[in-house]
């Protein structure tokens, strides 16, 4: 009876906690290190005195499901989510929040430096490298635009983008940059000065080729946008099969072999807020958390700027542990996720009790709940914001079952990293033929920046836009901004190719020529179709006038002038 009374009083003390008491609960755990419990977790001695002090809740106690306390209150959320920089509302402006002037200038400087170093050595008489000209910021942007467009227009070989074979030709690539120029920029693309590298003082020697640019872009991820309360931490794998000592194999990932990174994303959108590349023992985590293992230090390093603000972190069983959750509670941060039953400091009887389908077993320790739920197999979770309550849900077969609330919330908030990984694979900037690991990391960084810019653009856009539409509009914006009229062109542009001189060239209206079926054919005006009526439906207006150079239908006035003087989407 003494044991039952002790558990009852401990549960009642947890129920009485208000928001103002959360800090005292976190402070009380400072005196008790996660590994220095005064009694054996899971045991319940009859000789212990009965008390309602909060310190009693610092021992794992089985939860009586018939008298389970309500969920502990969350820490107050004090973050200020949203975009923190001002920019124009066009795709290129959002991408330039991450690839800003400093990043582009760094790439231009190091690419030209590396090219001069390589060209100083003797070359073959007919080497294409002899035609090299130093790159400018405009060249780099056009180069990046073609890389992005290659993710939409997939071809097995890079040189096929410049082929003149009519079956697979894409004339637009030749109008932006010649294949010789593109391949030379790719050959000499560089991000660091090799002459100034010192392994003893470099913060990440294994990433010396890409470290500076990588840090600049990831820092822009963090300063540009503040995520919502719910965030998730998971690992990502970039496919790569080259020779690297820190190459990883993860059987559950689609790529299986590649370069692993730890990522923190916003749960609702998949915005990539922070990331750390894994390089084995030399992985660059925050030195403040060097005393912890890889799983704990990776979460704390990623989320360190967001701690003490009431955020809620969702993790999987690789990261979740009582040790991590204790630290997060001290830093006024909530967390929940799946957990391995044999983790250190878990209740001793946590994984031993046999459950029938639908049964629940739970243990409480202060603000932390350890729960086992039997579905087709045991599902083990840790949470600092949930109780043992269940909610009705439907299976894929349409059968209604009772599922713990923590499981439902976990399924809704854990997919932030997976959502981002899935999105960048649809239109990849990374190519299998890329052998240099640092160039492949750079392409992957460009993919992530493109995805983040799409999220920010979509949030402020009045009309919905798909990811694919956003990418080709991004390429058009780059060409309109950085391509000049003197760029080399080959032959007449095909009618279906986007005209990069739409806003700068000379255009004249003409009547649409007759066809075999119609003497007076019409086309839909592209400007009118970009508008919506009072009911929110697209406006459809036919016109007999079109622009032969752009090959689009336009009203004579004012749409013809509008289309050729401003960006219309």
Query: Does the pLDDT of residue 41 top 50, yes or no?
Result: no
- The residue ranking higher by pLDDT, 99 or 565, is 99
Say if residues 161 and 153 touch (Cβ distance below 8 Å): yes
Say if residues 276 and 301 touch (Cβ distance below 8 Å): yes
Identify the pLDDT of residue 557: 85
| pLDDT tens profile 420-456 | 988 888 888 888 777 899 999 999 999 999 999 999 9
Mean pLDDT of 461-473: 89
Joined tokens for residue 255: 């790529």
Query: Does the pLDDT of residue 109 top 80, yes or no?
Result: yes
Q: Residue 292, preceding bond cis, omega within 30 degrees?
A: no
Say if residues 510 and 539 touch (Cβ distance below 8 Å): no
Instruction: Label residue 502 by pLDDT band (50, 70, 90).
Output: low
Query: Does the pLDDT of residue 24 top 70, yes or no?
Result: no
Instruction: Label residue 244 by pLDDT band (50, 70, 90).
Output: confident
Identify the pLDDT of residue 399: 86
DSSP string, 62-85: E--GGGPPPPPPPPPP----EE-S
Query: Does the pLDDT of residue 149 top 50, yes or no?
Result: yes
Identify the pLDDT of residue 128: 77
CA 492/CA 279 separation, integer angstroms = 49
| pLDDT tens profile 179-234 | 999 999 999 999 999 888 888 788 888 999 999 999 999 999 999 999 999 999 99
* DSSP secondary structure code for residue 537 in this structure: P
3-state secondary structure of 143: helix
Query: Does the pLDDT of residue 323 top 80, yes or no?
Result: yes
Q: Which residue has 């293992």 as its token pair?
A: 293
Those residues with Cβ within 8 angstroms of residue 39's Cβ, 6 or more apart along the chain or in another chain: 45, 48, 59
Say if residues 482 and 142 touch (Cβ distance below 8 Å): yes
Instruction: Label residue 404 by pLDDT band (50, 70, 90).
Output: very high
Query: Does the pLDDT of residue 569 top 90, yes or no?
Result: no
Instruction: Label residue 485 by pLDDT band (50, 70, 90).
Output: low
Say if residues 173 and 161 touch (Cβ distance below 8 Å): yes
**Nearest alpha carbon to residue 73 among 14, 26, 9:** 14
CA 333/CA 367 separation, integer angstroms = 11
Q: How far is CA 240 from the centre of its chain?
A: 19
User: What percent of the chain lies above the pLDDT cut of 90?
Assistant: 47
Half-sphere exposure of 42 (CA within 13 A, CB side): 13
Query: Does the pLDDT of residue 45 top 60, yes or no?
Result: no
* DSSP secondary structure code for residue 294 in this structure: H
Identify the pLDDT of residue 1: 41
**Nearest alpha carbon to residue 336 among 358, 321, 349:** 321
As a dihedral over the C-alpha atoms of residue 95, residue 473, residue 272, residue 98, rounded to 10 degrees, the angle is: -10
Query: Does the pLDDT of residue 106 top 90, yes or no?
Result: yes
Query: Does the pLDDT of residue 283 top 60, yes or no?
Result: yes
CA 228/CA 80 separation, integer angstroms = 8
H/E/C letters for each residue in 450-500? Answer: HHHHHHHHHHHCCCCCCHHHHHHHHHHHHHHHHCCCCCCCCCCCCCCCCCC
**Nearest alpha carbon to residue 257 among 267, 269, 245, 248:** 248
DSSP string, 378-408: EEEEEESS--S-EEEEE-TTS-EEEEEHHHH
Domain borders along the chain are 2-60, 82-224+435-500, 506-569
Q: Which residue has 């901004």 as its token pair?
A: 481
Identify the pLDDT of residue 493: 36
**Nearest alpha carbon to residue 148 among 492, 467, 418:** 467
Instruction: Label residue 503 by pLDDT band (50, 70, 90).
Output: low
Alpha helix ranges (H) inside 16-70 = 22-28
Q: Which residue has 């077969």 as its token pair?
A: 397
CA 184/CA 163 separation, integer angstroms = 17
CA 473/CA 374 separation, integer angstroms = 49
DSSP β-bridge partners for residue 313: 231, 335
- The total of other beta-carbon atoms located within 10 Å of residue 19's CB is 10
Instruction: Label residue 19 by pLDDT band (50, 70, 90).
Output: very low
Say if residues 292 and 300 touch (Cβ distance below 8 Å): yes
CA 336/CA 315 separation, integer angstroms = 7
Length of the chain, please? 569
- The residue ranking higher by pLDDT, 380 or 9, is 380
Lowest mean pLDDT among 121-130, 295-304, 543-552: 121-130
CA angle 7, 12, 16 (to 5 degrees): 150
**Nearest alpha carbon to residue 229 among 269, 172, 184, 185:** 269
Identify the pLDDT of residue 484: 73
Identify the pLDDT of residue 568: 54
Q: Which residue has 């000209």 as its token pair?
A: 133
Those residues with Cβ within 8 angstroms of residue 230's Cβ, 6 or more apart along the chain or in another chain: 266, 267, 268, 311, 312, 314, 413
Identify the pLDDT of residue 5: 43
3-state secondary structure of 563: helix
Say if residues 149 and 472 touch (Cβ distance below 8 Å): yes
Instruction: Label residue 395 by pLDDT band (50, 70, 90).
Output: confident
CA 169/CA 501 separation, integer angstroms = 20
Instruction: Label residue 504 by pLDDT band (50, 70, 90).
Output: low
**Nearest alpha carbon to residue 478 among 152, 86, 95, 191:** 95
| pLDDT tens profile 324-368 | 999 999 999 999 999 999 999 999 888 888 899 989 999 999 899
User: What percent of the chain lies above the pLDDT cut of 70?
Assistant: 84
Identify the pLDDT of residue 550: 82
Those residues with Cβ within 8 angstroms of residue 367's Cβ, 6 or more apart along the chain or in another chain: 14, 22, 25, 72, 329, 384
Identify the pLDDT of residue 12: 44
Identify the pLDDT of residue 548: 86
Summary mean pLDDT of the chain: 83
Identify the pLDDT of residue 30: 44
């Amino acid at each position: 009876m003494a044991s039952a009374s002790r558990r009852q009083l401990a549960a009642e003390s947890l129920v009485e906690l208000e928001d103002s008491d959360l800090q005292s609960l976190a402070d009380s755990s400072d005196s008790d290190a996660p590994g220095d419990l005064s009694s054996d977790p899971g045991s319940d001695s009859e000789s212990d005195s009965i008390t309602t002090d909060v310190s009693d809740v610092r021992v794992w106690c089985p939860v009586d499901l018939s008298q389970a306390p309500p969920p502990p209150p969350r820490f107050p959320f004090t973050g200020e989510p949203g975009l923190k920089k001002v920019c124009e509302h066009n795709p290129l402006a959002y991408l330039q929040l991450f690839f800003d002037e400093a990043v582009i200038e760094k790439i231009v400087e190091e690419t030209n430096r590396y090219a001069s170093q390589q060209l100083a050595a003797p070359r073959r008489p007919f080497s294409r490298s002899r035609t090299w000209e130093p790159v400018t910021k405009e060249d780099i942007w056009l180069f990046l635009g073609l890389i992005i467009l290659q993710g939409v227009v997939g071809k097995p070989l890079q040189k096929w983008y410049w082929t003149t074979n009519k079956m697979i030709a894409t004339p637009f690539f030749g109008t932006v940059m010649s294949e010789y120029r593109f391949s030379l920029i790719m050959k000499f693309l560089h991000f660091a000065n090799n002459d100034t590298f010192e392994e003893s003082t470099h913060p990440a020697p294994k990433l010396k080729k890409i470290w500076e640019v990588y840090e600049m872009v990831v820092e822009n991820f963090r300063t540009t946008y503040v995520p919502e309360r719910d965030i998730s931490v998971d690992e990502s794998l970039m496919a790569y099969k080259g020779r690297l000592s820190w190459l990883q194999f993860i059987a559950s990932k689609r790529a299986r072999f590649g370069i692993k990174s730890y990522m923190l994303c916003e749960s609702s959108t998949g915005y990539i807020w922070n990331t750390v590349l894994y390089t084995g023992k030399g992985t660059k985590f925050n030195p403040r958390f060097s005393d912890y293992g890889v799983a704990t230090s990776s979460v704390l390093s990623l989320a360190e700027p967001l701690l003490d603000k009431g955020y809620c972190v969702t993790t999987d069983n690789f990261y979740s542990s009582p040790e991590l959750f204790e630290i997060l509670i001290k830093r006024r941060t909530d967390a929940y996720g799946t957990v391995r039953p044999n983790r250190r400091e878990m209740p001793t009887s946590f994984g031993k009790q046999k459950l029938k389908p639908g049964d629940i077993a739970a243990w409480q320790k202060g603000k932390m709940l350890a729960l086992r739920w039997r579905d087709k197999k045991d599902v083990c979770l840790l949470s600092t914001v949930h109780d043992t309550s269940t909610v009705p849900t439907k299976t894929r077969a349409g059968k209604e079952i009772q599922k713990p609330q923590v499981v439902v919330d976990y399924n809704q908030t854990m997919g932030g990293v997976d959502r981002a990984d899935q999105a960048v694979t649809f239109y990849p900037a990374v190519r299998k033929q890329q052998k240099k690991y640092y160039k492949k990391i750079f392409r992957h960084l460009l993919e992530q920046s493109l995805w983040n810019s799409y999220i920010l653009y979509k949030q402020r856009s009045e009309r919905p836009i798909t990811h694919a539409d956003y990418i080709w509009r991004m390429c058009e914006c780059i060409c309109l901004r950085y391509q000049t009229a003197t760029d080399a062109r080959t032959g007449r542009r095909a009618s279906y190719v986007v005209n990069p001189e739409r806003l700068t060239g000379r255009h004249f209206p003409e009547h649409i020529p007759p066809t075999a079926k119609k003497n007076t054919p019409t086309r839909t005006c592209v400007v009118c179709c970009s508008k919506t009526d009072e009911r929110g439906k697209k406006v459809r207006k036919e016109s007999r006038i079109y622009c032969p150079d752009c090959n689009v239908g336009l009203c004579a006035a004012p749409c013809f002038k509008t289309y050729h003087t401003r960006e219309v989407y």
